[in-house]
Amino acid sequence: MLAALLAIHCSHAQPAKPYDIIGYYSGDGKSLSAYPIEKLTQLIFSFLHLKGNELAFDNEQRKQDLLEIVALKNKRNPSMKVLISLGGWGGCATCSPVFATAENRQAFANSVLQILQTTQTDGIDLDWEYPTIPGPPGHPYSADDKANFTDLIQRLRTTMGDKYELSFAAGGFDTFIAQSVDWAAVTPLVNRINLMTYDLINGYSKVTGHHTALYSRPSQKESTDNCVQQLLKLGVPANKLVIGAAFYSRVWANVAATNNGLDQSGQHTAGVSYKHFQEKLTPAQGFTAYWDDTAKATHFYNAEKQLFATTDDPQSIKAKVAYMKKYGLGGIMFWELREDAPVNGLLSVMEAAVKE
């Protein structure tokens, strides 16, 4: 009898859900064809924006770009889901006032469903930077954003039903975690939470650091681990958390050589995409790479030019994937695919590490 019961139990056991590998992408279908999209479980088309109280493409060409992407997905990776995304940094200027009314929130939800149906896409990712707290300079925000964001999520889920994916991009820093989201109310309604555990040292920072550190260190609390552990303590299920990686560096100029440029004052300047690392961040260009075994993060320093670059690289990507597995998280995502090398890029490193 016991053996029979065990057999019945095992026959109904569900296989472990595979980890998601999610890439944000702001390009078109033609450019996408150069990348190994077979390695992705999800691609997030970035970005659509508000037009009044509805979600809209910036122009007709962007709609055609999305349709090309869907066609390419159907041809090369039918199991990959394609989501549309609202906002982005600088792309949600009217979100706070528009989402302040129930009528507008419902109109937005209706417009999302219509776009999903007409483009045959699989869901939406909300990238409102940020509810309740300051985002881009001059963008309005309100203490009411938190409740309005909750209601927006509820209306989207009710309007779209369970057929479509619903996720949002969450700031990976303390203030966002503490103030922007009602985690208990929102988490059950979304498929996943994409943690922007990059830009933790950002373009407004006057002191260098690791912009996408895995672990905290004495001089920098903000990190992937700091973000994840807070959310786990708040009761967010591990399998709904997707940690973020950066396929680009952030660069500071006029950085002193002390500590090889780390924790030094400087002026933020243009970053470098991973696909250009071999042209711009190598010893031939005067850069030396340094691994921080506490933060599990890499930075580059050029003593002659006093340039400091902080980034993800193959070593830090592998460390993040190992962390994802250690805590049973839902997956790993990155900004963005256009910044990767189409061949032997960070996406390939990521996928290989996930499969190990």
* Active-site pick, 38, 68, 129, 165: 129
DSSP code at position 247: S
- Structure-block tokens of residue 1: 């009898």
Contact between 269 and 252 (Cβ < 8 Å) = yes
Q: Are strands 248-253 and 331-335 parallel, antiparallel or unpaired?
A: unpaired
Nearest by Cα to 40 from 349, 347, 247: 347
**Spatial distance between the Cα atoms of 81 and 70, rounded to a whole number of angstroms:** 9
How many CB atoms lie under 10 A from the CB of residue 10? 8
Q: Which residues 6+ apart lie within 8 Å of 152 measured at CB?
A: 99, 105, 108, 109, 126
To the query of whether residue 68 is one of the catalytic residues in this protein, the response is: no
Strand ranges across the sheet with 307-311:
267-273, 248-253, 307-311, 297-302, 288-292
**Active site positions, annotated:** 129
